[in-house]
């Protein structure tokens, strides 16, 4: 892979709207990605391996629980800092950002928000430090967009719960130490349970042959009569709103992360367009290539403003789930379109691992599907503006 010469575009001087702390946090994440992710990520993706060696670095830049209070080992940062960290990591690779998203928003967040003080103290510091890695089990083989239909269930056996069922498409599952699992009790009410590796009847087979997010490990969570201690139930919220609340936090991070992938594609294509000579001129001097670049920087700038405003609303605790859906949907779609256009600008070179664009493009096919598909987010906006539910 070519050396990482990334320069971040900031066409509207959005940096002026950030604090010095925001910029320091972003620069630390950016420098770490250049130093520790860029040199290894192409090989990891080609080999379809999650590069575990980067876990301590992720912890060091605050990517595990950026907004979790410091008393639990988190970084105690605001939501814009969280977004900027996700942007920089996904600039490196969406699969690496996935690992950070899952750990922070889908594992640490529910333990922090819905757990007991004992659960917070037991799990959060180790998760923040990357000593333990987590996964989040909501999706099932027959229940993806419609998680309310889940069949994974647990029964009260007096001194423990007995958990049965299976989850599919679970990021980090093959190596997770703990899993936050959503399952129905005997009354059909959804609850979160913390399942630990080593519990009898719990297995995590890996899903192979992915063309997307190859540097992220994806797998199943299988529960066959798993005895879960009663103290592992998250007591402070139940119902579908509990996992969906976690998704709000992760979807927000993805809205920022996708900008990172788009910026990397744009920056790569811009540099290439100035160096690649055809018909006696740099290809960047042709109108057709300029149209692509001009549209890319316009869309990136709009996405940056959308994410920043959403971050301000999140900081004030005013962001609605529908606003988060809009940003996730728009920014991932924007990034995927830019990746496709940027890939074409590199001609044949665009399909090789010499450049990051094709990897971003393939990764974004997952990002546009997970955490709510492109269609589901459109329907969330549709419901919000019309009041009519078109899901069912
Ligand atoms: P619905 O009746 O609308 O809602 C049920 C209850 O949930 C509440 N609620 C929310 N609460 C918090 N945040 C949200 N975003 C919420 N959306 C809804 C709602 O108020 C209600 O509460 P209550 O108290 O009235 O019961 O539920 P529904 O069954 O009609 O489904 C709605 C729908 C389709 C939008 C929802 O199911 C959905 O978002 N589906 C998409 C599923 C999804 O996103 N799965 C993601 C799995 S995790 C993942 O992909 C991780 S990838 C990680 C990585 O690698 O980065
Ligand atoms: P389906 O729900 O079967 O959808 C198929 C198609 O039908 C889609 O185009 C969808 O938009 C459309 N559709 C569905 N319902 C409607 C409707 N009402 N109206 C119109 N169109 C509709 N899940 C987890 O729980 N944890 C994870 O860590 C996790 N990581 C993932 C990692 C990867 C790499 C991938 C690919 C997925 C991951 N997921 C995870 C699962 C992900 O959230 C689901 O794939 C996603 O929610 C869609 O579910 P599905 O794949 O079953 O598609």
pLDDT tens readout for residues 230-264:
999 999 999 999 999 999 999 999 999 999 999 99
Q: Could you tell me if residue 266 is inside a domain?
A: yes
Q: Could you tell me if residue 112 is inside a domain?
A: yes
Angle (deg, nearest 10), helices 357-367 and 94-101? 40
User: Does the reported pTM lie above 0.85?
Assistant: yes
Query: Which residue has the CA at smallest separation from atom 14 of ligand 1?
Result: 244
Query: Which residue has the CA at smallest separation from atom 9 of ligand 1?
Result: 241
pLDDT, position 342: 98
C-alpha 36/C-alpha 61 separation (Å) is 12
Is the C-beta atom of 147 inside 6 A of ligand 1? yes
C-alpha 169/C-alpha 179 separation (Å) is 13
Buried b (16+ CB within 10 A) or exposed e, 10-38: eeeeeeeebeeebeebbeebbebbbebbb
The mean pLDDT value for 221-230 works out to 98
pLDDT tens readout for residues 140-191:
999 999 999 999 999 999 999 999 999 999 999 999 999 999 999 999 999 9
Judgement on whether residues 124 and 150 belong to the same structural domain of the protein: no
Percent of the chain residues topping a pLDDT of 70: 100
Q: Could you tell me if residue 212 is inside a domain?
A: yes
Q: Which ligand is nearest to the CA of 384?
A: 1
Q: Could you tell me if residue 324 is inside a domain?
A: yes
pLDDT, position 2: 81
Judgement on whether residues 260 and 290 belong to the same structural domain of the protein: yes
Judgement on whether residues 258 and 150 belong to the same structural domain of the protein: no
What is the span of the domain harbouring residue 307? 241-386
Is the C-beta atom of 107 inside 6 A of ligand 1? no
**220 among known catalytic residues:** no
Query: Number of folded domains in the chain?
Result: 3
376 has a pLDDT exceeding 80:
yes
The last residue of one of the domains, among 197, 212, 234, is 234
What CATH number does the domain containing 170 carry? 2.40.110.10
Q: Could you tell me if residue 215 is inside a domain?
A: yes
């Amino acid at each position: 892979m070519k050396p990482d010469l990334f320069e971040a575009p900031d066409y509207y001087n959005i940096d002026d709207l950030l604090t010095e702390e925001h910029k320091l946090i972003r620069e630390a994440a950016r420098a770490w990605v250049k130093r520790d992710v860029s040199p290894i990520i192409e090989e990891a993706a080609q080999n379809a391996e999650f590069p575990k060696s980067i876990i301590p670095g992720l912890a060091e830049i605050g990517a595990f629980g950026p907004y979790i209070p410091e008393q639990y080992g988190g970084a105690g940062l605001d939501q814009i800092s969280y977004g900027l960290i996700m942007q920089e990591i996904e600039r490196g690779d969406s699969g690496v950002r996935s690992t950070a998203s899952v750990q922070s928003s889908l594992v640490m967040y529910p333990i922090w928000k819905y757990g007991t003080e004992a659960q917070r103290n037991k799990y959060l510091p180790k998760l923040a430090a990357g000593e333990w890695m987590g996964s989040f089990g909501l999706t099932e083989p027959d229940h993806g967009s419609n998680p309310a239909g889940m069949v994974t269930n647990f029964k009260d056996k007096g001194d423990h719960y007995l958990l049965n069922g299976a989850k599919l498409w679970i990021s980090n599952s093959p190596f997770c130490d703990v899993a936050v699992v959503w399952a129905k009790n005997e009354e059909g009410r959804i609850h979160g349970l913390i399942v630990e590796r080593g519990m009898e009847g719990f297995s995590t087979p890996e899903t192979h042959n992915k063309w997307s997010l190859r540097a992220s490990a994806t797998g199943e969570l299988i529960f066959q009569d798993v005895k879960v201690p009663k103290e592992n139930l998250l007591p402070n919220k139940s119902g579908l709103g509990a996992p969906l609340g976690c998704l709000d936090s992760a979807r927000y991070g993805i809205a920022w992360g996708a900008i990172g992938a788009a910026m990397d594609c744009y920056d790569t294509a811009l540099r290439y367009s100035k160096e690649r000579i055809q018909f006696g001129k740099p290809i960047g001097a042709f109108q057709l290539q300029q149209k692509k670049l001009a549209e890319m920087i316009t869309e990136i700038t709009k996405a940056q403003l959308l994410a920043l405003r959403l971050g301000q609303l999140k900081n004030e605790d005013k962001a609605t789930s529908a606003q988060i859906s809009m940003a996730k949907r728009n920014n991932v779609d924007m990034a995927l379109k830019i990746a496709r256009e940027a890939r074409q600008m590199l001609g044949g070179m665009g399909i090789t691992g010499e450049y990051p664009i094709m990897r971003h493009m393939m990764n974004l096919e997952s990002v546009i599907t997970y955490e709510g598909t492109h269609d589901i987010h459109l329907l969330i906006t549709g419901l919000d503006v019309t009041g009519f539910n078109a899901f069912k």
